[in-house]
Chains A and B, each alone.
Chain A
Amino acid sequence: MDTERLKNSLNNLIWAKVMAVGFILEGAILVFGCITLPLGILSIMAGLKLWQASDDLSRFKNLGDPEYAYIGIEGLSSFMRLYGWLILIPLTLITVGVIFAIFVYLARL
């Protein structure tokens, strides 16, 4: 595999840091809520994971050591899983809430 081409295909790693900061800040706000506490922890975890992944991929770009590429891409994959949960949990809660509200409304009728 062409390491140089892989290096060139990895860009915008500074934006990954911006994203990571956003996740951490959002998590820091969510942690203060009783119900949103798990989401806050998950958001901070996702932010830290993304920060670490972008660090590893930057090291791969600078040093050329493929070991950092593997670790960085693994970190990015873990970030995707955490981000997926971060979307799925509120979506499920909202759906359950809406169904419950419809049931309550229908029961009153």
Chain B
Amino acid sequence: MDIERLKGSINNLRWAKFIAIIFLAKGVLMILAILIGIIVLIPLSVGVISRVETAARMFILIFLLLIGIPFLIFAAAMIILHLRTGSSLLEASKDLSRFKDTGDTDYAYIGMEKLSSFIKFHGWITLINMILWIINIVISTFISAALQAFLSSVGNMQNL
């Protein structure tokens, strides 16, 4: 294989570094958002729970656990994916830059491996986002259909 040609075909590594930094920043921002959310929500929910009756308190606790735990697991997975996507792309762009500068082919192989990891992690993020879109579309369609049915039934009752 022609090393010089391979070097020539590897371009836009600054863009790759920029994308990597954005992914890392997104991961850090997600961590901050979760921490702020926990700091704000815990005293708020404790305040609400202490005011209601025991039966309602249990219901609220179960509801919070049912919503909160899956959300936290999902958020942790997304944070890890974003951080790993960013770090693998940053390392890949560094290794490929070294290959371009020094011509050492080992850096090319390592860089390509890291780039493959970036593609895998980003693929997971894309897949999760697509599943979320589908869930969002299904839920919004269901809610709008239920709302329309409710409004039409109210209209029928008023006509009667």
Contact = CB atoms under 8 A, between A and B. Distances in A.
Interface stretch (B44-52, B73-81, B116-124, B139-147): B116-124
A71 B109 CA distance: 17
B9 A77 contact: yes
User: Does more than half of chain B's interface fall in helix, strand or loop, or is it mixed?
Assistant: helix
Contact of B113 (A11, A76, A81, A91): A11
B19 A84 contact: yes
A16 B119 CA distance: 6
B73 to A, nearest CB: 22
Contacts, number: 97
Given A77-B9, A77-B12, A3 B1 contact: yes
Contact of A87 (B6, B8, B22, B122): B22
A64 to B, nearest CB: 10
A45 interface: no
B116 A9 contact: yes
B16 interface: yes
B19 A2 contact: no
B123 A15 contact: yes
Interface residues of B, number: 35
A9 B19 contact: no
Given A1-B3, A10-B112, A81 B130 contact: no
Interface of A: 1-3, 5-6, 9-16, 18-19, 21-23, 25, 66, 69-71, 73-74, 76-78, 80-81, 83-84, 87-88, 91
25 contacts: A1-B2, A2-B109, A3-B1, A6-B108, A6-B109, A10-B116, A11-B120, A12-B117, A12-B119, A13-B119, A14-B123, A15-B119, A15-B122, A18-B127, A69-B1, A70-B5, A70-B6, A70-B8, A78-B11, A81-B11, A81-B12, A81-B15, A83-B19, A84-B19, A88-B18
